[in-house]
Structure 1
Amino acid sequence: MNKLLNSMFALAVASVTAVSVHAQEIKGDAKAGEQKIAMCIGCHSIHGYKSSFPEVYSVPKISGQNGKYIVASLNAYKKGERKHPTMRGIADTLTEQDMADLGAYYEQHGNIQPVTKTPKAPDAKVAALLQKGACLSCHGDNFSKPIDPSYPKLAGQHKDFLFVALKSYKVENQSTWGRNNGVMGGIAKQFTNAELKAISAYIASLDGEMKVIPQSRFR
């Protein structure tokens, strides 16, 4: 199993590197991105805001997230690799420059300082689950330093969102729900939903760099 996971990670890194090289051709402009956030702030800039599809869960924190990951996510929605109708509809309206600008804006939004605290150690059960999934191999120390900027920071993200996101990699052949990603699909399918919930709760409990920053109109 470890050899299989290592092979999957090697393939994933190679694929992400190719995407990153392409993304580097389009430089994001945070100032321009600030003028393009109208479709984002109605969900991602309200404390406690929840999505109701396909179940009720907190929309993710994106202020302080890696800009290239935001670009990769939007592209995945646009291509149908992530199947959420609302996000697909939004992503369809964006050009590659728009995505790069939005990524640049949210990466620096709030000037969030890097985490310097020693991470809380997981209990033995969760530690075994994290080792089984080799989660730190991609998402890095304290789940805040991914090995490539096209991977997400996870520490401090909403636990209910993390749980729904992980479950979505187990879903196949649905037109409006699920995520197509061979690496994450292979990892998520190793776990029961109860185990994914335990992993999500631990990662959410860590100090992270992401937060929800309300726009003035929502304060």
Structure 2
Amino acid sequence: MNKLFTTIFALAVSSVTVSGLAQEAKGDAKAGETKNAMCIGCHGIKGYQASFPEVYKVPMISGQSGKYIASALHAYKKGERKHPTMRAIADSLSDQDIADLAAYYSTSGLVAGAELPAKPAEPSAEVQALLNKANCSSCHGANFSKPIDPSYPKIGGQHADYLFVALKSYKVENNPKVGRGNAIMAGMARQYTNTELKQLAKYLSSVDGELKVVPQGKFR
């Protein structure tokens, strides 16, 4: 185990404790379905694109881990994730609101009995080398949809352009509006050039995953 991975593992253990504290409220999926009016305008439209900090498809969040959604919203609320729109939305939510939305989206669109392959299709040798460099599967799972801790995201099948923007954001420093303050992912992302991050994002988007866009029947 190299020095970087040892340091990252220690930070990961610490972050699990923090993320566990962040979601003390028990989520109610039915309540969350009544609170997602600010979510569906972007995440409930297939192909919807954001324009800040660049044009990219907004992430699919239906089927995502509830603990990850809660952790992400708390990070926006605390300013650890610097996105003006998401910061404003997260600021408007109580801890109970966040827990309810997380519970709702964690079950939204999931098909009972559906199983993903244990491992995705083999990547090219070049991409495999990039995956090995940060040992991505050690946290996100062998098929990138079963992370070792539910506060880590499922990334298999996520939009490539979103993954690319998200990965780049971990490398941003001293920008009041862009960036993500996660020491673990910052250490990982900085090992790669942006061209390499784009290769990783393209591959990860191609594998089977549980994430999807579930269109809203009507806006409220």
Which residue does 1:95 correspond to in 2?
A: 94
Structure 1 residue 20: Cα displacement: 1.6
The share of aligned pairs that are identical, in percent, is 64
Q: TM-score, normalised by structure 1?
A: 0.95
The reply on whether 1:19 has 2:19 as its aligned counterpart is yes
Q: Is the 8 A contact 1:83 1:179 kept in 2?
A: yes
* Equivalent residue letter for 2:140: H
Which residue does 1:70 correspond to in 2?
A: 69
SS at match of 2:110: coil
Structure 1 residue 17: Cα displacement: 3.0
* Equivalent residue letter for 1:36: K
Q: Is the 8 A contact 1:66 1:149 kept in 2?
A: yes
Q: Deviations over 1:152-193 (max 9, x none)?
A: 000000000000000000000001111111111111011000
Q: Deviations over 1:93-147 (max 9, x none)?
A: 0011100000000000123334136411111101011110111111112100001
Which residue does 1:133 correspond to in 2?
A: 134
Q: Is the 8 A contact 1:139 1:145 kept in 2?
A: yes
Q: Is the 8 A contact 2:118 2:142 kept in 1?
A: no
Distance in structure 2 (CA, Å) of the matches to 1:97 and 1:203: 32
Q: Deviations over 1:48-68 (max 9, x none)?
A: 100000100000000000001
Distance in structure 2 (CA, Å) of the matches to 1:81 and 1:211: 26
Structure 1 residue 47: Cα displacement: 0.5
More helix by share: 1
Which residue does 1:80 correspond to in 2?
A: 79
The reply on whether 1:41 has 2:35 as its aligned counterpart is no
Count matched residues.
217
Aligned pairs (5 A) from 1:177-192: 177-192=178-193
Which residue does 2:205 correspond to in 1?
A: 204
Task: Indicate the RMSD between aligned Cα atoms, in angstroms.
Answer: 1.4
Q: TM-score, normalised by structure 2?
A: 0.95
Which residue does 2:56 correspond to in 1?
A: 57
The reply on whether 1:158 has 2:159 as its aligned counterpart is yes
Runs of 4+ displaced beyond 3 Å = none
Unmatched segments (≥5 aa) in structure 1 = none
Distance in structure 1 (CA, Å) of the matches to 2:193 and 2:22: 36
Distance in structure 1 (CA, Å) of the matches to 2:22 and 2:171: 28
Q: Is the 8 A contact 1:61 1:158 kept in 2?
A: yes
Distance in structure 2 (CA, Å) of the matches to 1:14 and 1:54: 30
The reply on whether 1:2 has 2:2 as its aligned counterpart is yes
Residues 1:15 and 1:153: Cα distance change in structure 2 (over 3 Å)? same
Structure 1 residue 26: Cα displacement: 1.4
Structure 1 residue 11: Cα displacement: 1.9
Higher mean C-alpha displacement, 117-126 vs 204-213: 117-126
Distance in structure 2 (CA, Å) of the matches to 1:182 and 1:15: 10
* Equivalent residue letter for 1:63: S
Q: Is the 8 A contact 1:114 1:209 kept in 2?
A: no
SS at match of 1:217: coil
Structure 1 residue 2: Cα displacement: 1.9
Distance in structure 1 (CA, Å) of the matches to 2:118 and 2:18: 33
Structure 1 residue 21: Cα displacement: 4.8
Distance in structure 1 (CA, Å) of the matches to 2:56 and 2:8: 29
